[in-house]
Chains A and B, each alone.
Chain A
Amino acid sequence: MRRLVIIILSLFCFSFAKAQIAIDTLSTEALDQLLIEQIERLAEDSDDDADFEDLLDNYIFFSENPVNLNSDEVMQLVELRLLSVFQYEEIQKYRRYYGDFMFLEELEMVEGFDEQTLAIINPVVCIGKDEDKDKLTFNKLARYGKHQIVGRYEQILEQQQGYAPIDDSALLVKPNSRYLGSPQKYQLKYTYNYRNKVRAGFVLEKDAGEMFFTDKVSDTIRALLGDNYQRGFDFAGFHLYAKDLGIVKAAAVGDYQLAYGQGLTLWSGMSFGKAGAGSSVMKQGRGITPKGSASEYSYMRGAAVTLGGGPFSGTVFYSNRKIDANVSVAESLDEAELVSSLQETGYHRTIGEIQDRHAIRQQVVGGHLAYAIAHFEVGYTLHHTWLSVPLQLKPSHYNQFYFQGQQLTDQGLDFKYVKGKFAIFGEAAMSHNPDTTALRQAQGPSFAGLVGMTVKPAGYLNFTLLYRNYGKAYQNLLGNAFGEGSRNQGQRGVYLGVEAAPAPYWNLLAYVDQFQYTWLTSQVNAPSNGHDYYLRVSHSFSRRANAYLQIRSKTKMKNSTDAMVFSHYPILYTKNSVRFNINYQIGRDFQCSNKAEYAHYHNEDGTNEHGYFLCQDIAYKPESKPFSLSFRYALFDAKDYNARIYAYESDVLYSFSVPALYGKGMRIYLLGKWKPFSNLTLYARIGRTIYSDRDEIGSGLTLIEGNHKTDLKVEMIWKL
């Protein structure tokens, strides 16, 4: 009877939903907007050029291969922060009471699903029957699998200093003053997917400045490079992945990522940090996932398998890959080879970078055990890392607790309890570095832990509290837990966040994070502290228009650069920013967006810098035509790098662009998409930054003589 009622209700809903709420199942606009905001915040939080390709890959994968609402796959949307864990629980509850979903529109009746959530997840879910029991055959794999090839070319059109002609003798005097390769970047990616169950692929990449087939160098330089002399694609990777094959819950060969618990012990690849606020602070380990992107740092290469039955599951993995490092060559026989630093950029453009390429071998072996029942989950993770050459950092006060030596063992215990209006989670970990012979490092607490809780007193309100305390000497090369900055070491802090919908069409997100560093950090000559305040208020005027206002203030410490002081003690600095963004749709085919941002930097030395950014975006996306265009016109005025502004730009699929703008000038771009055939999509994008306050852009190898910088990207996606 209940079943009948629900069918009638959903039919009723279905017929009206089209007219009233009319969620456009094909529109990924809300999803895109969410992604833009997250990447923007990640870019602000990571100080250097972070690589979001991996993250982007995952989102695009799900928007093209929607997950079945009637299966456990929905959990993957929680892992990507598209759903909160409470919403996931509600979906499961709904299925338990009323049976499987028959229409997407039924989601409107699930508690905790507002219009915004529906708009976000609609493009990534579908209704299907649970196909887990279907037997996998080669015939099916060959017939129903989807293939995709993505080829991309990109280049900065102006000549950068690193590509200027130079003769060999001058290059030998200053070996790192030029890139050896050409300024083009190429990427080729192939992926195969059978119903999200079996996935495979490979990726080839050559970054700008790296040597390609046609680039040649003289014999002297070739001799200098020795074994590392190599032309062609600089990076190559493949992956093979399958899941839900009987007791094999997941298995991967080739490149893969691992993510467990709260990320304190083991979380390779991207993590959101503070970027997703509120209830999504609780991480959802994704276990083994294939890695198809071309990010060259932080991933596993080898094999991994998860077996499971009943409430238990167990994972074992092994990874063995060469990583970039700066090796100091032994001068005599009794002097051992040492590594002074690990390189994380993945660039191999200059002689120095090429010499560091794949200099040492990193092996990791480990496993994870999990026990999960209805609302409770507990897991244990253990892994051990070997480096083929010991790491010995340049001695400094701040890095004396950092990982050095050749081996490292990490283990951790994580748990999670989610029920009703309450979620509690945490992880405790410890590291063990057996390298005591050289007494390279100071001894200190090598424990780390975090514990958090989210309560949802009402449907429109939730609070999250998280406490973390990462020991001074807690070392982990594969962790990525919640924290300020990327290093889960020597830090403790408290985070309090709130998410609320105080009135219809109004949403509020706010958090406070207070943290202390228990030891010195790079460029901070004493234990220091800081805080991070964030407030975001968003409003939907209608389905056609929404806006948000975001205010952020972050205070940290850094050494004074005042030339008059003798010792460089840390002083406070604050970066405030205010952003207003409005998106609106004009008719059916045009979308417009305006953004205004103000950034203010000041420190106790008396530095005060202001930055401003204004832009107008127009996108023309005619429904009936096979092409679309996006255009931006932006003005920026930020005196210095400290008051820089990050502005996400629309880009070709699978690529991202978040330039940090500073100086004075304008930025324009035009992005075009054309789909000549149903299985072929072409993208082209050209962008230009024109400065009015300088005649040369950048410095060192990236220096451009002139006041403009133009970037070009062309991409082809072919689906079979």
Chain B
Amino acid sequence: MKKLLLLITLIISTSTIFAYDFIHPMGGRAAAMGGSSVASQGLWALQNNPAGMANLEKMSLGLYYENRWLLPETAYKCGAFALPTKLGTLGLSFNQFGSSKYNENKIGLAYAKDFGRYLQIGLQLDYLLLKIGNDYGSFSAVTFELGLQSQVTDKLAIGTYIFNPVNFSFEQTLNHEKIPIVLRFGLAYKFTKDFVGQCEIEKDTEREGVSLRGGVEYEAFKSFYIRAGVQTNPGILSFGVGYAIRFAQINVAAQLHNELGASVQVGMIFNLGK
């Protein structure tokens, strides 16, 4: 209860910077690495930078749950499915933030293609739905997101991602409330075979300032990863572990915020194809 009060106070006191959170970084790996994800590949790229799923080899299904500040009212739930085809990878994603009183939903249909080793491009069409309880109603909008990744050298990958580049808004709301434009870019650097560092910067037009994120991952034993990361604006420290077996991966992370306390994230990926 105390925490809820604190959160409400915080939201009210920072109401000017309160923004929609449709594109919160998803996946246990990203969460453990300070949220940095724009230059990484895999299924969760579907949420974080669709270009990153261009090289996916197997049909995959992912589930993700984030208990933000350990409050059920501020949880993220996300599901993703990706199907690699001859013409590129197709993806379908759903994510939700909030509770029955207030929730933000995004359904996305994604497509990613690689053009040789140097270039991967991804596109996602989004349907956004904002539901506010107590008969305030629900509002919807359509937008899209674009991503680009490049494996510049064997060690260096660079990624760029933009959400809502042409600045759509919720037309039905009273003030035509703006959907933020989010521009994010960063790099991943493979220092050694089993040690990866990545960092990125993000600008969300409906928030003050920019957010910097960085993280490291170390493969301590075969298929067992330990990770840590930091994020600014809001300032968060994170860490986590991951384990991969042939047909599944599980990644667990925890994030610590000085005032708001801890959040816990769990993500699972199932490789369905052969």
Contact = CB atoms under 8 A, between A and B. Distances in A.
A584 interface: yes
A495 interface: no
A587 interface: yes
A586 B210 contact: no
A610 interface: yes
B170 to A, nearest CB: 15
B256 interface: no
Interface stretch (A235-243, A277-285, A589-597): A589-597
B249 interface: no
Contacts of A598: 210
Given A587-B115, A587-B119, A635 B153 contact: no
Contacts, number: 75
Contacts of A590: 119
A541 to B, nearest CB: 5
A544 B153 contact: yes
Contacts of B150: 584, 586, 592
Interface residues of A, number: 28
B94 to A, nearest CB: 27
B19 to A, nearest CB: 13
Interface string A2-28: 000000000000000000000000000
B83 interface: no
B187 A635 contact: no
B152 A541 contact: yes
Interface in B195-216: 201, 203, 205, 208-210
A544 B151 CA distance: 11
B153 A616 contact: no
A633 interface: yes
A545 B153 contact: yes
A411 to B, nearest CB: 53
A690 B165 CA distance: 12
Contacts of A585: 118, 152
B53 interface: no
Given A610-B209, A616-B183, A616-B185, A586 B160 contact: no
B71 interface: no
A685 B183 CA distance: 23
B156 interface: yes
A689 to B, nearest CB: 13
Interface in A182-221: none
Contacts of A542: 152-153, 156
A592 B209 CA distance: 24
Contacts of A584: 150, 152, 158
Contacts of A635: 181, 183, 203, 205
B210 A541 contact: no
A382 to B, nearest CB: 54
A618 B160 CA distance: 11
Interface in A601-638: 610, 612, 614-616, 618, 633, 635, 637
A582 B158 contact: yes
A544 B116 CA distance: 15
Contacts of B183: 614-616, 633, 635
Nearest to A692: B205
A291 interface: no
Interface string B126-164: 000000000000000000000010101101101010100
A692 B203 CA distance: 14
Interface string B102-122: 000000000000011011000
A614 B205 contact: no
Contact of A592 (B116, B148, B178, B205): B148
A510 interface: no
Interface in A508-549: 541-542, 544-545
A694 to B, nearest CB: 14
Nearest to A587: B118
A637 B153 CA distance: 32
Contacts of B209: 610, 612, 637
A598 B205 CA distance: 15
A383 interface: no
Given A541-B152, A596-B210, A614-B183, A633 B162 contact: yes
A614 B156 contact: no
A592 B157 CA distance: 13
A594 B159 CA distance: 10
A610 B232 CA distance: 15
A592 B185 CA distance: 12
A664 interface: yes
B112 to A, nearest CB: 15
Interface of A: 541-542, 544-545, 580, 582, 584-587, 590, 592, 594, 596, 598, 610, 612, 614-616, 618, 633, 635, 637, 664, 666, 690, 692
16 contacts: A541-B152, A541-B155, A544-B152, A545-B158, A582-B158, A584-B152, A584-B158, A585-B118, A594-B158, A596-B185, A596-B201, A612-B210, A614-B183, A616-B162, A633-B165, A635-B203
Given A584-B158, A586-B118, 18 more contacts: A541-B156, A542-B153, A542-B156, A544-B152, A580-B201, A587-B115, A590-B119, A592-B160, A596-B210, A612-B203, A612-B209, A614-B183, A614-B185, A633-B183, A637-B203, A637-B205, A666-B167, A692-B167
Considering the complex of A and B, which 5 residue pairs feature the smallest CB-CB distances, nearest first? A545-B152, A594-B185, A614-B203, A542-B153, A586-B119
